[in-house]
Structure 1
Amino acid sequence: MTEQVRARHRSEALQAQALQNAEQLVRQRETLYQVFEQTPASVAILRGPEHRFDYVNPGYQALFPGRTLLGLPLVAALPEAAEFGFLALLDRVYATGEPFFGTELPLQVRDEAGNRLPEAYFTFTYQAYQEAGATVGVSIFAFDVTEQVLARRRTEQMQAQALLAAEQLVRQRETLHQVFEQTPALVFIARGPDHRIDYVNPAYQALFPGRELVGRPTADAIPEAVEHGFIALLDQVYTTNTPYYGNEVLANASDPEDQMALRYLNFTYQAYQENGVTVGVSSFAFDVSEQVQARQQATALQAEVSRRDAQLQDFFEQAPVAIAVLRGSEFMVELANPAMCALWGHTREEVLGKPMFVGMPELRGQGFEQLLEGVLATGEAYATQEKPAQLRRNGQSQTVYLNFVYQPLRDSEGQITGVAVVATDVSEQVAARQLLALANAELTAANQAVSARNEELAAANQQLTRTNQDLDNFVYAASHDLKQPVNNLAGLFDELRHAAVFSDPDEEAVLVPMVDEALRQLATTINDLAAVGQVQRLPGLPAETVALDELTQEVLHTLDPQVYAARARVTTDFTARPTITYARASLRTILLNLLSNALKYADPSRPARVHLSTWVQEDRPVLLVEDNGLGFDVQRHRNELFHLFRRFHDHTEGTGVGLYLINRIVQSNGGRLEVESEVGEGTTFRVFL
């Protein structure tokens, strides 16, 4: 007996537990049913291969007012579904078990009178649902997105919005529960003011892998929902009983830089009631991340295209070359940039939208019509350079030279629809070339005249060269041939002076010194002329490395008496160029004459100071000889400084050959001689070797 009681008790306990589980399942399914009945989404369930309507919620029935749907096959209840391809889609989902997601697909139904209603757009899913592992029907979750589509038709991709909800009676509620579990839509149901999570489907749970959601307040289970404002929205819907529709809401922003990881949702928060009292909030959401990212990419691409279009327009407007587009056989001016209008000599208002030869009749008869027609006929580009054209300039016709290209324009089918023109005004270049040709002709004539004059000068130069040679020969011969007679004359006079007796001693004292001085001057002049002749007749001496300090001391040793007589102090500074590559004999002659002049023309009122130095100018050595002597007026005597037998002081002996001789040596070696002097201040010679 005791065993029977225990068995009965166990049976009763099991029955009570089963009853409690059944009640919980019924309550959960009742909740789902109420959610389906109250959701603004359009929900329908079709059974069997003929897609017979097994359930439709009020939202779905409202799409087809006045029509009977339940119990009828889809093709009988909604023949438009076959017309718009929905029947084929349902067949495929039923046969393959693969869901179909429709985004903003059009549907046009008829009213009770058979008239077509305005086209509507729906975002929906067709989801096969199973019983005992076998597909038994297709569920439909749809949103009417007609208003959104019409609002964004021109600028955004068609987007599908759908809210999922499903409710049914006892058998239907079980089906709806299975549909919720299998749908890719995100389903969330929360109860009470703290939004304790009562149900999430697998798709929603996948948002938060590893988290326990059911049975916990939303703020605790999903704390990021507080930060992103979703808890406030749930409070609002729960309190006001007003649905909230979120469109393309960013659901996660943990890494805003990773655009591909961001997820966007279209969702609805809908309050649901029991016995007329709000007890919770349901949420149905679709992941529209791909559509948002695609639109963002399209927007970025459009922005880039717009930017490039703007750049192209700026280039077209600012291009220095003339650009125009002519359309059709009449060559209608479709585009013309400012440079082209300036080249044509017309404003845009005068040419745009008009046939080219109507807006610019002055172009007729100049061959442009034939060239353009040839490009249209053959499809081959035409290019030319410096073609003359009569164009309008300041109200008058003027010849302008052009470089231009006619390029055929084709449409997407390859048909020639017009001609692109790129032109450049090269009138200035042509005029410049013509002027250059004229100048060249004049220059050629001038060159011919110069050549003739050069021939005359060459002949005169040859004559002058022969004359100079003759003079040089004469100087050499005269100095050479007169030396011996002068020496003989000096010897005879010396003998005569010893043998002759003057009757007047005073006359002897006057005449004898005068004859000695005349003979001495004659001998000095002949010796200087011999030196000049020798320099002019000798060929160029070979250059060698000469140490300036050594050569200077050698010359000073020769001039010791003059140095002593002038109480001179001679200093040197050859640091800049201690040695010089030059003919030694020529350099000795230069130093000897310059130092001799510095000592000869020393100021008797003060000791003579002579300084020799070198420096370098443009990689060429320069020898400086500076003294504090008498000096002379350079400006007065500049044109005769280096003339033969020219002297600037008469109180000392000399023939005026030294500077002439130095200048000839320096010039014959490619150099030049410069002099600075001031009376009473001294003289500076610069020898550019």
Structure 2
Amino acid sequence: MFYNVNDNIHNNYVLKNSNPTTFVRNYIGMITVPQVSNTSYLIRQLPTPTAFVDTNYNIVQTSDKWTSIFNENDECINSRSLFAVFPNLSEKWKMVLDNCFKGNPQPMGIHKTIDANSNELWFEWINAPWYDTNENIVGAIIQLNNITDAVNNELELNKKDLLLQQQAEITKIGRWEYNMEDNQLFWCSTTKSIHEVSSDFKPNIETALFYYKEGHSRNAISMALFEAQESGKSWSNLKLQIITATGKEKWVMAGGKPIFNKGKVVGLIGTFQDIHEQVEADIKTIDNEKLLRTLIDNLPVNVYIKDTESRKILINKAECEYLGVNDPKEILGKSDFELYPYDAAEKSREEDLNVMNTLKPVIGKETVKTTINGKQTSFLSSKIPLLNNKGIAYGLVGISLDISKLKEKEKELRNIINIASVQNKKLLNFAHIVSHNLRSHSANFSMLLNFLETEKDEEEKKSIVSMLTKASNNLLETLDNLNEVVSINTNTNIEIKEINLNKKVVDACDNLSPFISVNSGRIENNIPANFNIKSVPAYLDSILTNFITNAVKYKHPDREALVTLSAEKKGGYSILTIADNGLGIDLKKYGEKLFGMYKTFHDHKDARGIGLYLTKNQIDAMNGKIEVTSKVGKGTEFKIFFNEKN
């Protein structure tokens, strides 16, 4: 079987200096048709595939080389038409042979065949007139030239050219060559396309340089060309800008290297790539990264990103400040185990794994973080999984809002609400007391005045006047007590000072010494000599007097009154403890009424129920508190807490 091959390959292979007629004459001389059989042994030994065809296109004689290739299955038999044996030959061949019969041989072309071993072979077919002894043309001599290797190489080369061209179009990489001897510059089609010039544009070295943007780009490429020509130095990956023929600015990547001949630079060759879209994308990416970084760094929250090992790979300024570093590099790559106590880090790691494995974010969880340095901070924390295009978590984003100040404000607000609630209760209680007590005094006065008005007996009148005087004194005392309470609760300008508690206790005991002596009391002062507290001096005097007086007044009848005073500092408070061995108080029965106004718990003739009430108001006014423990018949212990933050 034979196949026509495209004209491109045909034109590339022209057999030179291979005239088959001359070749045959060298072997057998001038022969006529009847003489072929006499010289067939010579023809058969011809080293190339050769066939003799008469003017009727019949195959008269072939060489053994021809037979070995084409005689499979008796395809080629003498005295048969060439076109009968090879029906797939082009009709064009008849015209070529007809011209050959007229003494005008022409190339027949290049064709492919499959030999006896199923190998694909390519041959160039050439022809020459076949003369008899009288120089008459009696046919044609067809001779074949095996060009299989050349064709295969040409096909491979064409494939490579196509691949290179396709690669150049995809990657936008062009090539150029510069011949220094004749000052000729060559641009490939891709290079011309990048410069946006026509396909027939003929560049030179001067115009090529002119296309580079004036300034850094033109200077850089000029220097690279100069060094390549002078010292044979190559250049690569020069990122430069050009101005195209249409006036567009483009980013390109230029590279080149010198060509040497006998150690001398004779030219340059290089590549030229359009990287404008890539550079623009990179610039846009960098701009977006800067914008995102600026946004993240200026958010009023801590932001970080962790990888699957819970190592921080990005943190913002707020997170840096929280961790006490100036440069994020001090933190990047570290896990929670390097930044927080082990227990806290282990808990955080478990939470990270849960978020990444379940893909369920944690939103607005209130947490308390403690750094290795012991710094505690309250946060509202969120953890959100980072997913790749397959939906698998490759890390997480953490966002933490510092709510420590909010928690403090919340605590202060809660305290204010509590204080307001207490004050409201006090106000209601005070209003009740005022209403009840003043009404009682008013009713008492009204009754006595009625008695006085109707009484005729002078002695009875004197008795009624005496009762009016006593009632008046009781009213004044009540008004004084109420005024004291009002003064304590409305005085916002109280002056708190640092006072030596031991000295104040000594002074109070000295002032109460007659009372303590008469009641057979004993005071044991265990307060350190240098123990100071913050208090209003007048309030402290009142507090000490009331508690010491009550401790002695309500002593147990079977034993001497013993009052013990001690002090300590704890939890932001200076704590004064006053313990006695007196009657004690049934706290289950009277606990809620202990500090109420005019509440008494013993049948003592001097009990008025005002001292503890006033004392409690004074301590509350200084942001302090009182705790009490007591056992009936054993004694009572009061702890007075003086706030150190005052």
Q: TM-score, normalised by structure 1?
A: 0.30
Q: TM-score, normalised by structure 2?
A: 0.31
